């Protein structure tokens, strides 16, 4: 009778824990982990299993019924997949059986305590362990992460449970414990290897999904970039010439003395003056550099004029253009700022011209500047206070110019510093595949 009650207690606790385990791990809703309904169902199932084991004494069939019944009850309480419930139940029972076997083996075989004392110690130890299993967030996090991959690894907990359940039963029925311990070691080693392989498989699947997501994002970005670049080119052509057409229409209206038309065109041109003063040539790098420096020069009260005809589809790299134009314009703005402190008849100004002659690109920049300072080697000294961190702009320009068999020439005359750069380029054909 004592053994029957002890078995009933063990099965009841295990079934209640399996149901609570599945609810905590697989349910998205917050429910009561332990309820009267679960306890009543678990007690009935435990009693049936005890009677079945007493009559037929077939341990393997008893364990199969336990898993199927626990998963079926979980299916009744939860709307989870049955395969997922079986895998989760077997995983939970694997942990319980390993813990029970270790505790009972320690108490009965090594300490040789009476079974009643062993049962009391087992309950006192198992209750905190069960609470830890239900509240520890790491277990739930791990199961949530591998949930999408159950279809490929669900068999591992099932096979592991059958091996652990069989050895747990045979451990106490075989007198020669050394052979049982060897089998335990082999089983645990195989399970560890299988879990490691499953973990590697899951990581591989995650990396594969991540790479697929990156490729999809890249394709979307390329499509969006192509559409944006096409719209950008259309707007570039529009804003490049639209204000000039308005000027011609205004001249024609003035010539025909149509005051209403002239006033209308002037009102229409007013909002476009700011846009007309900004460069839109279709090359993002050149547009950004020139427009940002134009805005900075305007804020500082520096007049800036531009005459640009930039060729498309050349082999001149954007980073080299960025080096050349940004350093030239930054130096020009700084020279104009220093020129404001000098009593000069004219206000500081910058004139930028970019033209092509066949396969040669010419960049000409003229800016107001005080008398430049050269060193003994004929190199231009920086006018910044920190001479250690500055003075490399012209050297970087020269390095970029040499990549295209170019030449940079500078001159100074009547408060005007002039820089002329020539770059040889090759046309790049744009063929649609």
List, for residues 248-275, the tens digit of each pLDDT value.
777 777 777 777 777 777 776 665 555 5
- Tally Cβ neighbours within 10 Å of residue 257: 8
169-224 pLDDT tens trace:
777 777 666 777 788 788 888 878 877 887 787 778 778 878 888 888 777 777 76
Q: How would you classify residue 27: left for phi > 0, otherwise alpha for psi between -120 and 50, otherwise beta?
A: beta
- Compute the distance between CA of residue 405 and CA of residue 417 in angstroms, rounded to an integer: 23
At the topology level, CATH places domain 283-424 in Heat Shock Protein 90 (3.30.565)
Share of the chain above pLDDT 90, in %: 6
What is the distance between the alpha carbons of residues 239 and 245, in angstroms, rounded to a whole number? 10
Q: What would the mean pLDDT of 394-414 be, rounded to a whole number?
A: 88
- What confidence score (pLDDT) does residue 236 get? 57
The rounded distance, in Å, linking the Cα atoms of 86 and 70 is 8
DSSP class of 280: -
- 137: pLDDT strictly greater than 90: no
The larger pLDDT score, comparing residue 300 to residue 122, is at 300
d(CA 83, CA 29): 20
Q: Which part of the chain has CATH 3.30.565.10? A: 283-424
CA atoms lying within 13 Å on the CB side of residue 46: 21
For the cut 80, the answer to whether the pLDDT of residue 37 exceeds it is: no
**Does the pLDDT value for residue 331 go beyond 80?**
yes
Count of CB atoms situated within 10 Å of the CB of 139 = 18
Query: Could you give the C-alpha distances from 383 to 299, 341, 344, in angstroms and in order?
Result: 21, 14, 19
Q: Is 421 within 8 Å of 401 (Cβ atoms)?
A: yes
DSSP label of 381: P
Q: Residues 410-432, buried b or exposed e (16+ Cβ, 10 A)?
A: eeeeebebebebbbbbeeeeeee
Structure token pair of residue 376: 């003994």
């Amino acid at each position: 009778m004592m053994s029957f009650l002890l078995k009933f207690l063990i099965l009841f606790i295990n079934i209640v824990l399996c149901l609570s385990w599945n609810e905590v791990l697989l349910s998205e809703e917050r429910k009561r982990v332990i309820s009267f309904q679960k306890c009543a169902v678990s007690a009935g199932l435990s009693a049936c299993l005890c009677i079945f084991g007493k009559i037929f004494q077939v341990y393997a069939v008893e364990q199969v019924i336990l898993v199927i019944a626990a998963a079926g009850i979980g299916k009744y309480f939860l709307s989870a997949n049955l395969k997922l419930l079986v895998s989760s139940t077997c995983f939970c029972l694997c942990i319980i059986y390993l813990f029970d076997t270790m505790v009972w083996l320690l108490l009965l075989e090594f300490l040789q305590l009476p079974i009643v004392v062993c049962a009391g110690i087992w309950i006192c130890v198992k209750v905190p362990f069960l609470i830890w299993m239900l509240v520890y967030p790491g277990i739930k996090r791990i199961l949530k992460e591998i949930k999408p991959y159950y279809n490929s690894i669900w068999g591992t907990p099932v096979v592991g449970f059958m091996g652990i359940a069989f050895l747990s039963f045979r451990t106490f029925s075989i007198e020669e414990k050394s052979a049982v311990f060897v089998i335990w070691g082999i089983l645990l080693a195989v399970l560890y290897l299988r879990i490691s392989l499953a973990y590697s498989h899951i990581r591989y699947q995650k990396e594969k999904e991540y790479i697929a997501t990156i490729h999809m994002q890249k394709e979307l970005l390329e499509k969006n970039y192509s559409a944006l670049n096409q719209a950008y080119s259309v707007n570039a052509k529009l804003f490049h010439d639209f204000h000039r057409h308005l000027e011609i229409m205004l001249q024609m209206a003035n010539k025909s003395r149509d005051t209403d038309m002239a006033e209308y065109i002037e009102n229409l041109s007013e909002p476009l003056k700011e846009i007309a003063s900004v460069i839109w040539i279709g090359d993002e790098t050149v547009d950004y550099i020139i427009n940002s420096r134009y805005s900075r020069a305007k804020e500082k009260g520096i007049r800036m004029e531009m005459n640009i005809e930039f060729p498309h589809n050349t082999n001149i790299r954007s980073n080299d253009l960025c080096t050349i134009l940004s350093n030239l314009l930054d130096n020009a703005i700084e020279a104009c700022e220093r020129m404001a402190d000098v009593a000069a008849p004219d206000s500081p100004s910058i004139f930028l011209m970019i033209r092509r002659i066949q396969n040669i690109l010419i960049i000409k920049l003229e800016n107001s500047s005080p008398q430049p300072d050269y060193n003994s080697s004929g190199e231009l000294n920086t006018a910044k206070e920190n001479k250690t961190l500055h003075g490399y702009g012209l050297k970087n320009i020269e390095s970029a110019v040499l990549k295209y068999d170019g030449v940079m020439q500078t001159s100074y005359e009547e408060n005007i510093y002039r820089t002329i750069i020539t770059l040889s380029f090759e046309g790049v054909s744009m063929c649609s595949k």
